Structure formats: C-alpha cells, structure tokens
Structure 1
C-alpha cells in the first residue's frame, strides 16, 4: 500500500498524523507529509483510517 498527500488540498488539520504517526508527519508549517510512501507492514489499517478521515480529502491511497 502506498499513500500520497496532495499539498494543495492539505490544510494542516493533523488528523493523519494523530492517527498514524508512523506514516505521516507535520512539516514546519504544520502541513502533512508522508514519511514513507510505502506503508510499513502492520500500519495499513491506521493509514487507511487517515485516508478516510482526512477532512480535506488530501490523502490518497494507491
């Protein structure tokens, strides 16, 4: 599983980071960034929750 963040859509709510800090982080401006595009084994479920719960729909799985 891979995830990406659309930088134009992200508004820095931090939901993804709160749900799955193993995959997502917040940059110095408070916007989401992916730490590792390939989600590590065991974190797929929480990464999918982050995709589903992003208020701006800025995260995609693919």
Structure 2
C-alpha cells in the first residue's frame, strides 16, 4: 500500500483463500477500544459487542 494511502486508512486487512493473513490498525484507535478483526473471530471473541451492534448501523433495507 502506498504511503499516502496508509496515512488515510484507519485499518487494513488482507485475505487469502478465505483466511485473514494480515491486519493492521492505527495504535490511537486501539487505545480508544476499536476492534478490527474478521467476523468469525469477532463472534468468538467479542460476542456481546457483535450482538449489540451487528446490523444496527445500516438498516437491511439499505443493502
């Protein structure tokens, strides 16, 4: 990823054959409690957060 793009990204992830092989998130966001992970891991590790927020920000009718 070019440096100019890195500066504007909050986080980035890469998948290979349906597996996350790389992810990175800015340290200031981690300090604020932001979680950046794949959905499968989120369900296992952050079940309460997923239940609270999943499908709440964008209504299904907007898809």
TM over 0.5: no
Asked which structure has the greater CA Rg, the reply is 2
More helix by percentage: 2
Per the normalisation by structure 2, the TM-score is 0.27
- Structure of higher RCO (CA pairs closer than 8 Å, 6+ residues apart): 1
Per the normalisation by structure 1, the TM-score is 0.27
